[in-house]
Amino acid sequence: VSFIRIDSDTNAMLSDDKIFADYNDTFTDVNWNEWYRSYVDTAYRHNYMHGYGKGKFGPTDKVTYAQFATIITNILGYDANKLTGEWPTNVLYVADKLDLFDNTTKNALTSDPITREDAAQMIYNALDANMVEVVDGKLVTTTATLADMIDSDYIYITEGEIVHIVQEPMIS
């Protein structure tokens, strides 16, 4: 999947490297020369992962069930930071409504590190979930699913919002 942003001043198409070139050091524990740095930057810029706050990401920490549910719900368009209620209860409520925990370890605590098996199952469960977007301050379900987004070759982004998912680029 390629992310393409339309620059609002010039209407020029910007690719991944231009989108993230202006990234500043949000996380003090992610060194600029680490192999995973661009992945952390991408996840942060697209609001998929927020880190712990106060400049900490925890790149070597194990991911818990609650954190993984947060990542998936953020990818689907829910912003865990803006959901009503306290984390992780608010995210777990959404994840449960989306059936993200179906066929996963039922007795695992949300604070337990997630197994690779359950992570894969949760991703699979999310594939048919509809994406949401914020319209006039309210969450609105879209017709696009996570599988649609993954199957697309290009995702066009204007002012940080996904505006069109296509199989071929709009401009050759």
DSSP code per residue over 79-147 = -GGGSSS-TTHHHHHHHHHTTTTTTS-TT--TTSBPPHHHHHHHHHHHTTSEEEEEETTEEEEEEEEHH
What is the tens place of the pLDDT at every residue in 15-38?
545 444 445 578 999 998 899 998
State the average pLDDT over residues 63-67: 94
**Separation of CA 159 from chain center:** 17
Is the pLDDT confidence value at 100 over 90? yes
Contact of 130 with 144, CB cutoff 8 Å: yes
State the average pLDDT over residues 151-168: 51
pTM above 0.85, yes or no: no
State the burial class of residue 130 (Cβ atoms within 10 Å of its Cβ: 0-12, 13-18, 19+): middle
For residue 150, give the H/E element and its range. Answer: helix 146-151
Contact of 129 with 84, CB cutoff 8 Å: no
Q: Tell which residue, 66, 60, 26, has the closest CA to residue 43.
A: 26
Place 91 in a pLDDT band, splitting at 50, 70 and 90: very high
Cα gap 170→172, rounded to integer Å: 7
Place 158 in a pLDDT band, splitting at 50, 70 and 90: very low
Cα-based distances in Å from 100 to 19, 119, 142, 152: 31, 10, 18, 22
Cα gap 156→169, rounded to integer Å: 9
Cα gap 69→2, rounded to integer Å: 24
Counting residues of the chain whose pLDDT is more than 70, the rounded percentage is 72
